[in-house]
Amino acid sequence: MLVVEKSKVSKRFQVAIPAKIRKALNLKEGDILIWTFIDGKLMIDVVHDNAEDILRLLGKVDMGPTNASEDMDEVVNEPEG
């Protein structure tokens, strides 16, 4: 499925996710977005409030020695803003 939409960045660097994208990804309040920027491309993965999804996504990137449980706690409990 191809869905292409655009958003505008606010002065506080906030971005609204277009409705078609929200529906295509089945986004819900509390879901976590993992932002990855590599080689000039931005990728956004969705974690539907599921610890296994977070660990799977973190496993895509070689972060060197890590404690996945502590890393996951940092991602989930990171303050908004």
Contact 61, 75 (CB under 8 A): no
* pLDDT recorded at residue 63: 52
The pLDDT of residue 32: 85
Signed CA dihedral, 26, 24, 80, 50: sign only: positive
Q: What's the token pair of residue 35? A: 């932002």
Q: How far, in Å, are 13, 18, 53, 59, 76 from residue 80 at the CA level?
A: 12, 20, 20, 24, 10
- pTM metric for this prediction: 0.55
8-67 confidence digits (pLDDT tens)? 999 999 999 999 999 999 998 888 888 899 999 999 988 876 666 666 666 665 555 656
User: What residue segments make up the domains of the chain, in order of their start?
Assistant: 29-77
